[in-house]
Amino acid sequence: MPFIDRPSDRPALVAVVGPTATGKTRIAVELALRMDGELVNFDSRQAIAELTVGVAKPDPSELRGIICHGLDWRHLGQPYTVADFVDRAQQTLGAIAGRGRLPILVGGTGLYLRALLQGFDFGSVPPVHPVTQATVAGSARTGSLADRLAAELSWIDPARAARTDRHNPRRLVRALELARGGSQPRRADTPWPAVWVGRQLSAGALRERIERRCAELVGPDLLLELERLCAAGVDQGVLADAAIGYREALDWRARRCGREQAVARVTQRTWRYARGQRTWFRREPQVHWVGDDDADEATVLASAVDEVTRGLAGASPSRWG
């Protein structure tokens, strides 16, 4: 049975959002434990089946027995669009609700969440071959190609250019593909009803968390993961572009840089990415931000549970009270 009886016949759900390193998984797991829920991941990199360490994919001890869908929905080197995610996520959310459980989305890829919950259709224009896309995206990092791609996008579709991060080569390439194909996003009539919650942190506190995480991430376990993937025949170019940290770890592995330099590079790239996430989610007025820099974990979790309980109270007070 759906959690909310609405004309759209779509169940109410929860979305735990925010930048990387803000503790989204802990909040989502706590909500799932208290409210009989299942998680659906909407992190575009944690969705890659072959990657674990470098993308900080939650392990069984972090999940505490809670089911988490979406950690293996895509593969290295294969095309995967927003539309692919939305199709799979819609089926999964329906199945969770059909089991009488609460669907809880958790992740940091705002574009995925907006497409799913707010009903945006980003078109069916297929992406170019992944190797070609990776090559173009890699070349775009030099600046000159990025400038040309951004200029073409601005000429063809100024509105799309304004909302596209030109510092994200892969997203810039994809936006240009959609613009060339004449695809325009449109809003569906029946978006998913959802309660959004996120961990509130200042820029300084977030930066400190990112520095600690990156120092832990770039270590022996990541090198072992690289060894396994390379031994399995994964193209190093594809691997380098798979997620933040893999290019730097490959350079460290090949002794093109030291570990400290690799950590510094990963930290800088992660911080830049997190700032973009922070800006994105702060533009979403429906997010209930909980905690502050000084709040301990127990306080943050309790606040998140309270916000979600209030948000879902109209659906079934006896279930969430």
- At a CB cut-off of 8 Å and minimum separation 6, what does 318 contact? none
Q: pLDDT tens digits for 278-301? A: 999 999 999 999 999 999 999 999
Q: pLDDT tens digits for 71-92? A: 999 999 888 888 899 999 999 9
State the amino acid at position 232 in one-letter form.
Answer: A
Measured N-to-C along each axis, helices 169-180 and 144-156 cross at an angle, to the nearest 10 degrees, of: 30
pLDDT confidence of residue 12: 85
Q: What is the domain partition of the chain in residue ranges?
A: 13-122+185-320, 130-180
Give whole-number Cα distances, 205 to 190, 260, 290, in Å. Answer: 37, 21, 14
Residue 46 and residue 56 in contact, taking contact as beta carbons nearer than 8 Å: yes
135-139, 145-149, 215-219, range with the lowest pLDDT: 135-139
Average pLDDT over residues 122-126: 55
Indicate the pTM of the whole model.
0.80
CA 75 to chain centre: 16
pLDDT confidence of residue 124: 53
The model's confidence at residue 118, banded by pLDDT at 50, 70 and 90, is confident
Given the candidates 3.40.710.10, 3.40.1280.10, 3.40.50.300, 3.30.70.1230, the CATH classification of the domain at 13-122+185-320 is 3.40.50.300
49 pLDDT more than 50: yes
